[in-house]
């Protein structure tokens, strides 16, 4: 019944000095999920990020200084909470996340999941992390899987979708320093 | 344990100086009363050790250490507690600062929207 369409979705793009790529990211997202609102959280950028984002038609919320990715994303969640969005999707401003996959995350939320993470490892991709990074990803994946009692493949991915319930929780408590764990 | 009389006088003077500085800082509105309590307690404990050094001996006997080592141990634990306390305070300040900044960003966004209603 077009459930996804009837629900309000906010795409949150945390961006710090992403001029030259943020506009392309916005365009791509609009192509794949035209019904979603796009919010660029300008994390104290000193370049033309905010301007380019605004010219691309996205809403821009500017933080007065560079607060870090964690606080920037949380600001987006705060926005989603205040404006009554049902779903919030986090997409990085540098274009590393394929917008074509957003609908997959959203349909997971539509099936009653509260947090859907776009993993780099469930399917074969070209992504090859460095050895130390790979080790870190495995450790956190193992720990988080152990704690929640469910296999989480990629806990450190910054490509994720949250239901309203998750958004409300994340506006209350969200790590500042290592938000991707 | 014997402490020379001039050392005791020195400790006493130090304590009173510390209390004086704290009161003056509060008076000038540079120190919150909340933290003044810590420092007044510090002055008080130094004062107690000064006029009643046997309290230190008592602790030394309980932990079975030389009284000088005990003194270091007590000071070290005390400093650790203070540092921990400060870290807690800083963390809380950080959280509040973050929330404030986010609220400001949100308010500014809303304000811009109100100013240009035709701007989607």
Across the range B102-115, mean pLDDT stands at: 92
Residue A1 has pLDDT above 50, yes or no: no
Across the range B79-105, mean pLDDT stands at: 92
pLDDT, residue A180, reads: 56
* Higher pLDDT pick, A127 / A46: A46
B106·A78 Cβ contact <8 A: yes
B105·A61 Cβ contact <8 A: yes
Minimum distance, in Å, between the CA of residue B113 and any CA atom of chain A: 10
Residue among B101, B103, B109 minimizing CB distance to A67: B101
Residues of chain A contacting B98 with CB distance shorter than 8 Å = 67, 71, 74, 176
Minimum distance, in Å, between the CA of residue B96 and any CA atom of chain A: 12
H-assigned helices in chain B: 5-27, 33-51, 54-63, 67-115
Render pLDDT for A50-84 as a digit per residue (tens, 0 to 9): 999 999 999 999 999 999 888 999 999 999 999 99
Best to test chain A binding among B97, B109, B117, B118 (most A CBs inside 10 Å): B109
pLDDT, residue B118, reads: 60
B106·A65 Cβ contact <8 A: no
Domain boundaries, chain B: 1-52, 66-120
What is the predicted ipTM?
Answer: 0.77
3-state secondary structure of A12: strand
Take residue B15 and report the two structure tokens written for it: 């304590």
Backbone angles phi, psi at A37, to 5 degrees: -85, 145
Contact A158, A175 (CB under 8 A): no
Interface contacts (A, B; CB < 8 Å): 36
Residues of chain B contacting A59 with CB distance shorter than 8 Å = 109
pLDDT, residue A11, reads: 94
Render pLDDT for A76-116 as a digit per residue (tens, 0 to 9): 999 999 999 999 999 988 888 888 889 888 888 888 888 88
Render pLDDT for A146-161 as a digit per residue (tens, 0 to 9): 887 777 777 778 898 9
Residues of chain B contacting A173 with CB distance shorter than 8 Å = none
Residue among A41, A62, A176 minimizing CB distance to B98: A176
B102·A71 Cβ contact <8 A: yes
β-strand partners of A38: A11
Residue B3 has pLDDT above 70, yes or no: no
Across the range A115-140, mean pLDDT stands at: 77
Q: Is B46 exposed, middle or buried (0-12, 13-18, 19+ CB in 10 A)?
A: middle
Q: Nearest chain A Cα to B111, which residue?
A: A61
Across the range A22-32, mean pLDDT stands at: 93
Contact A71, A42 (CB under 8 A): no
Closest to A7 in 3D by CA, of A98, A111, A101:
A111
Question: Under 8 Å CB-to-CB from B112, ≥6 apart: which residues?
Answer: B119
Distances from the Cα of B64 to the Cαs of B68, B76, B78, in angstroms? Answer: 12, 17, 19
pLDDT, residue A4, reads: 47
Give the Cα separation of A107 and A117 in Å (integer).
12
By mean pLDDT, which of A29-33, A173-177, B73-77 is the weakest? A173-177
B94·A74 Cβ contact <8 A: no
Closest to B42 in 3D by CA, of B86, B81, B88:
B81
pLDDT, residue A124, reads: 66
* Higher pLDDT pick, A77 / B48: A77
Residue among B94, B102, B120 minimizing CB distance to A75: B102
Take residue A91 and report the two structure tokens written for it: 């997409």
pLDDT, residue B64, reads: 85
Across the range A4-19, mean pLDDT stands at: 83
Q: Decide if A79 touches B, using CB distance below 8 A.
A: yes
Residues of chain B contacting A71 with CB distance shorter than 8 Å = 98, 101-102
pLDDT, residue B97, reads: 93
Residue B105 has pLDDT above 80, yes or no: yes
Q: How confident is the model at residue B55 (pLDDT cuts 50, 70, 90)?
A: confident
């Amino acid at each position: 019944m077009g459930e996804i369409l009837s629900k309000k979705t906010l795409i949150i793009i945390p961006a710090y000095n992403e001029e030259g790529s943020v506009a392309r990211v916005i365009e791509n997202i609009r192509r794949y999920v035209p019904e979603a609102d796009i919010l660029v959280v300008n994390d104290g950028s000193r370049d033309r990020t905010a301007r380019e984002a605004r010219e691309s038609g996205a809403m821009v919320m500017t933080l007065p200084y560079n607060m870090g990715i964690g606080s920037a994303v949380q600001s987006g969640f705060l926005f989603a909470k205040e404006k009554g969005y049902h779903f919030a999707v986090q997409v990085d401003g540098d274009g590393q996340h394929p917008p074509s996959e957003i609908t997959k995350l959203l349909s997971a939320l539509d099936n009653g999941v509260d947090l859907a993470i776009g993993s780099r490892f469930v399917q074969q991709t070209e992504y090859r992390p460095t050895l130390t990074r790979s080790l870190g990803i495995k450790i956190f994946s193992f720990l988080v899987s152990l704690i929640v009692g469910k296999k989480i493949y990629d806990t450190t991915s910054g490509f994720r979708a949250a239901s309203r319930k998750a958004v409300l929780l994340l506006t209350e408590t969200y790590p500042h320093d290592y938000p991707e764990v | 344990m014997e402490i020379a009389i001039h050392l005791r006088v020195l400790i006493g003077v130090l304590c009173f100086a510390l209390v004086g500085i704290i009161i003056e800082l509060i008076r000038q509105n540079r120190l919150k009363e909340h933290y003044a309590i810590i420092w007044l307690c510090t002055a008080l404990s130094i004062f107690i050790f000064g006029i009643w050094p046997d309290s230190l001996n008592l602790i030394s006997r309980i932990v079975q250490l030389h009284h000088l080592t005990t003194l270091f141990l007590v000071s070290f634990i005390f400093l650790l507690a203070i540092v921990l306390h400060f870290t807690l305070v800083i963390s809380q300040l950080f959280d509040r600062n973050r929330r404030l900044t986010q609220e400001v960003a949100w308010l500014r966004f809303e304000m811009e929207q109100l100013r240009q209603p035709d701007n989607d």
